[in-house]
Amino acid sequence: MVPDFLTIAEAATLIEKRELSPVELTQSRLDRIEKLDGQLHSFIRVLPDEARAAARAAEAEIAAGRYRGPLHGIPIGLKDIYETKGIPTTGHSKVMQNHVPAADAFSVAKLKDAGCVVMGKLATHEFAFGGPSFDLPWPPARNPWDTTRFTGGSSSGTGAAVPAGLVLGGTGSDTGGSIRGPAAYCGLAGIKPSYGLVSRAGILPLAFSLDHAGPMAWTAEDCAIMLQAMAGHDPADPASANRPIPDYRKALSGDVKGLRIGLIRHFYTTDNKADATTRDAIDSAAKKFAEMGAEVREITLSPLAEWAACGVLIMMTEAYAIHEANLRTRFTDFGEIFRDRMALAGLWTAADYVQATRRRRELVDELDRAMATLDLVMTAAAPSEAPKIDEVPKFAIMERPSLTMPFNVTGSPAMAVCCGFTEAGLPLSFQVVGRRFADATVLRAADAYERATPWRARRPPL
């Protein structure tokens, strides 16, 4: 009997020792998808035959002594903006519902090379931006902790499927918070890696200069395992960095002694005021880091609204340029949320875009200066628990300044880490952020925190 919940690290240990069969593990996840996904809608396409075939192949290889590593035989899901050879990749949109790619995205090929079993394509907000929407060909994913709640977006299917144990890990993308938002609201771990670390080639774009691809999983350790496979230079992505990839799992020392952490408290106490429960949870996490031997001090940056304006303006205008032709000819084939946000994006001028990119340089410099004497900064990942799914405003991203967008603007590695639950049992989360390409330090701090706190022991009551 395969347990309902396993981390990637736990399953990998059992698979390597041949105490867990990838075929049985995969079938157990398919059974769980069959049982639960009617409530969660985390998948828009399940691939049972392909998954069983991949699991059989993994099992045969392992039996023949060719164990590839900790992702061999591990069931994962792919956000449906990651292109998959011969399998539709839709962006959760009517506009691309018949798009069948000729090749896998670079990162998908790398995950398959590492031995992953792809279970299917996961829900997203339309083109990683517009949602939650009820007027698309597939329903929006639901929060596994309370299915009346929002998952966060845009990597909504991954946010729902991992905590529910439908997959052990999955892919996300993050242009303004689309990995960290669902990770926060659904209580899992998700890292937006440094810009340039994971190739964007073969991933449907939202905004070229802000798009980051990355893993989402139950723990920081699992994210480290997935990031190890996904990271690496790709000449097909003009922003792909060509630099050595460290051993992320090896960096998980379990301690934070000596790390210098800047707490950006005004982001969530003044600029986008979090509720008291969230504030207390984040302040407690900062205190925990201090108790564990980190040096924590409060820092002040420019107001959050300035970071958010810079990022949102760049994101929406780049997205408008990408979708302009279809917006002109097929406006109502897009969902209402996506198309109306895009209509607003069209109102900005070319000069506005250039001013935003000039502001971006200033803000990048500002964070670099602040981090000259710091290893990490931390702040809130969301201002509250997940809201009701039918109470998310159409223009939410413009109404309140995003807590996650600043680190898309700077290209910094940033991770959402669960730091408790509300009385109603909904997850709370903070962000930990590193210097560019110091992804290993971010994972180290997140992993140490998870090991020192009880939050990873709790799963959704499905």
Partner 1 sequence: MTRVELDAALARLGLDVPERERQELVGAVGYVAEMARLVKKPRWVGAEPAHTVAFPIGAFPSGAFPEK
Q: Which residues contact partner 1 (rule: CB under 8 A)?
A: 195-196, 209, 233, 235, 239, 241-243, 305-306, 309-310, 312-313, 327-328, 331-332, 336, 339-340, 343-344, 346-349, 352, 354-362, 364, 394-395, 398-399, 410-411, 436-437
- Catalytic choice (21, 28, 154, 384): 154
Q: What is the closest distance, in whole angstroms, from the C-beta atom of residue 421 to partner 1 in the complex? A: 33
Q: What is the closest distance, in whole angstroms, from the C-beta atom of residue 379 to partner 1 in the complex? A: 19
Number of other CB atoms surrounding residue 349 within 10 Å: 9
Contact indicator for 341, 308 with CB cutoff of 8 Å:
no
Q: What is the closest distance, in whole angstroms, from the C-beta atom of residue 412 to partner 1 in the complex? A: 9
d(CA 283, CA 285): 5
Q: Half-sphere exposure of 379 toward its Cβ, with a 13 Å CA cutoff? A: 29
- Catalytic choice (79, 94, 121, 192): 79
d(CA 288, CA 129): 34
Nearer to partner 1, 239 or 452 (CB): 239
Nearer to partner 1, 354 or 424 (CB): 354
Q: What is the closest distance, in whole angstroms, from the C-beta atom of residue 227 to partner 1 in the complex? A: 18
Name the strand (E) or helix (H) holding 419.
Answer: strand 414-421
The alpha carbon dihedral of 312, 283, 292, 229 has a sign of negative
Concerning whether 154 is annotated as a catalytic residue, the answer is: yes
Nearer to partner 1, 33 or 309 (CB): 309
Q: Show the beta-strand stretches assigned E in 211-365.
A: 212-217, 260-263, 295-298
Nearer to partner 1, 19 or 399 (CB): 399
Nearer to partner 1, 120 or 311 (CB): 311
Q: Show the beta-strand stretches assigned E in 4-65.
A: 43-46
Q: What is the closest distance, in whole angstroms, from the C-beta atom of residue 324 to partner 1 in the complex? A: 8
Q: Which of 409, 186, 198, 235 is nearest to 306 (CA)?
A: 409
303 by DSSP, 3-state: which? coil
Concerning whether 79 is annotated as a catalytic residue, the answer is: yes
- Residue 134 DSSP class: S
- Under 8 Å CB-to-CB from 244, ≥6 apart: which residues? none
Residues assigned a catalytic role: 79, 154, 178
